[in-house]
Amino acid sequence: MGAAMRRIHVGNALSAFGLGFTVPFLYVYVAQVRGLGSMTASIVLAVFAVAALVVLPFAGRAIVRRGPLPVLLVALVTAALGALSLGLANSATTVVLSAAALGAGQAVMQPSLATMIVDCSTADTRSRAFATQFFLQNLGLGVGGLIGGHIVDPDRASSFTLLFAIEAAMFLVLVVLMATVRMPHAPHIKGDRPQARGGSWKQLLGNRAMVQLSVLGFVLFFACYGQFESGLSAYGVEAAGISTSALGTAMAANTAMIVVAQFAVLKFVERRKRSRVIAAVGLIWAVAWLAAGYAGLGHGSRTMATAAFVSTYALFGLGEAMLSPTIAPLVADLAPAGMAGQYNSAFALVKQLALAIGPAVGGPMGASLHGPYVVTFLLFSLGITFLAVRLGRQLTPVQDQPSLARSRVVAQGGAPAEPVPASA
C-alpha cells in the first residue's frame, strides 16, 4: 500500500469518525435542544438528502475536469463550515442553511474519495482497497457514535456545540492531510474499457451495464440501507416489541459483523464472479427478512424474537461486507478512461435517491403494515438476485471476474499494469 493510499484510508476513517459524533443525535439536537420542533428537525434531515441530489450531478463533471483532490478539498471546507455553523445555530433558517452546506459537502466527499482510491489502486488491489475503506468507515462511525454518546447531554446545548466542533475539526484535519497527497496516474486494463468521448451524461446512460448496475444499486440501497433507521427499526418496535436497548444491540451486531467478516470474506469474493456475489447477497438478505418476519409475526418468546431481530441486522452486515469489495470496483471498471469521477458521482446519486425514498416508503409500512412490509422487502431481496444475474450477462469476463486478467498475465509471462508511482 503506497503512501497516498494510506493517507486516503486515514482520511476515510477521520471523516467517518467525525460524522459518527453528530449523525445519531441530529434529530434530538434540532427538535429538543434548540427547541425548533419535530417538523424543523424532519426538514433538516430532508435537506441533507436534497443537498446531495442537487450537487452530485455537478460533482462528477468537476472531478473529471479538475481531478478528485481539489474537489475533495472544497467539499471538506464546505462541510466543516456547515458543521461548525450548525453547532452554533439557534434559528430554523440558520439550521437549515447549515445542514445544506454540511449535506452538500458530505455528498461530494464520497465520489471524490472513491475516485482517489481508483486512481491509487491497480486492478489487483482495488477490491481490497474498497474493502478497507468500508471497514474503516464503519469503525469510525461506531467509535465516533460511542464517544459522542458519552459526551452529549440533552440538557446542555454546549455539549452538542462541542460535538459539531469536533466534526468540523476532523474535516479540517483531513484537509491538511489530503493536501499532502501526490496522486499517481490511474491504471487501466487494456481492451476492457472504451476510451471516453466526452464527459456527458448521455454517454453514461448509453452504457447498458452501468444503467443496469445503477438500477441494481438503487434496489440494494432501498431494500437495506434505506430501512435500517426507519422501516426496520419501526417494525422491530411495533411488531416485535423490541426494546430500545435491543435495537441498539442489533445495530451493534451489524457493525460487529462488518468489522469481523470484512477481510474474512474478501478472499472468497475476489475469486468469484461479481454478479454471483451480488446475487448471493440478495439471497442472504432474503433470509434476513425471513428472520425479521419471525421476530414480528411469529409466536415465539420475547427472547427468540429479539435474537431473530438481532440476527437480521447481522445478516445484513454480512451482505454489506460482501458488497464493499464488489460494487465500487465494478463502477470503476465500467467507467471509460478518465471518467471514474462522473461514474462514481452518478452511482452516489442513485444511492442518495434510494436513501431518500427508502425511509419514506418503509417507515409507514414498518410501523403499521407488518406482514406486507416483510413480504415486500423479501421480494426486493430476491429481485436483487435476479438483477445481479441479469447484470452478469452485460459484463465482459474480466469485468465480472478481475482475477481472470491476473491469470492471463501469468500465463503470458507478463506483469499487470501498475500506476505511475507518486512521492509521498
Res 310 pLDDT > 70 = yes
**Residue 242 phi, psi (nearest 5):** -75, 135
CATH of 1-183, picked from 1.20.1250.20, 1.25.60.10, 1.10.3720.10, 1.10.8.870, is 1.20.1250.20
pLDDT of residue 421: 43
The domain spans of the chain are 1-183, 203-408
pLDDT of residue 198: 47
CA 15, 16, 22: angle at the middle one, nearest 5? 100
Reduced to 3 states, what is the DSSP secondary structure of residue 179?
coil
Res 107 pLDDT > 60 = yes
| Residue 194 banded pLDDT, cuts 50, 70, 90 | very low
Average pLDDT of span 103-130: 85
Instruction: Name the residue with higher pLDDT: 193 or 314.
Output: 314
Single-letter residue type at 294: Y
| Grid cell of 66 as nine digits | 479538475
How big is the chain, counted in residues?
424
Res 255 pLDDT > 80 = yes
| Grid cell of 50 as nine digits | 436534497
**Ramachandran area for residue 340 (φ above 0: left; ψ -120 to 50: alpha; else beta):** alpha
Average pLDDT of span 299-322: 90
Q: Mind listing the pLDDT tens digit for each residue in 73-95? A: 999 999 999 999 999 998 999 99
Q: Mean pLDDT score of the chain, rounded to an integer?
A: 83
pLDDT of residue 197: 46
pLDDT of residue 410: 41
Distance CA(351)–CA(15), nearest Å, equals 19
CA-based max dimension of the chain: 68
CATH 1.20.1250.20 assigned to domain 203-408? The reply is: yes
Res 137 pLDDT > 60 = yes
| Residue 1 banded pLDDT, cuts 50, 70, 90 | low
Average pLDDT of span 410-414: 47
CA distances from 102 to 29, 33, 50, 92, 196 (A): 15, 19, 12, 15, 32
Q: Mind listing the pLDDT tens digit for each residue in 323-346? A: 988 998 899 888 887 788 888 888
CA 365, 366, 368: angle at the middle one, nearest 5? 65
CA 103, 33, 252: angle at the middle one, nearest 5? 65
The percentage of residues in the chain with a pLDDT greater than 90, rounded to a whole number, is 29
| Spatial CA neighbour of 32 closest among 126, 156, 117 | 156
Average pLDDT of span 44-60: 85
Instruction: Name the residue with higher pLDDT: 423 or 379.
Output: 379
**Ramachandran area for residue 358 (φ above 0: left; ψ -120 to 50: alpha; else beta):** alpha
pLDDT of residue 420: 45
Write down the pTM of the prediction. Answer: 0.79
Average pLDDT of span 155-174: 89
pLDDT of residue 422: 47
226 neighbors 350 (Cβ within 8 angstroms): no
| Residue 215 banded pLDDT, cuts 50, 70, 90 | very high
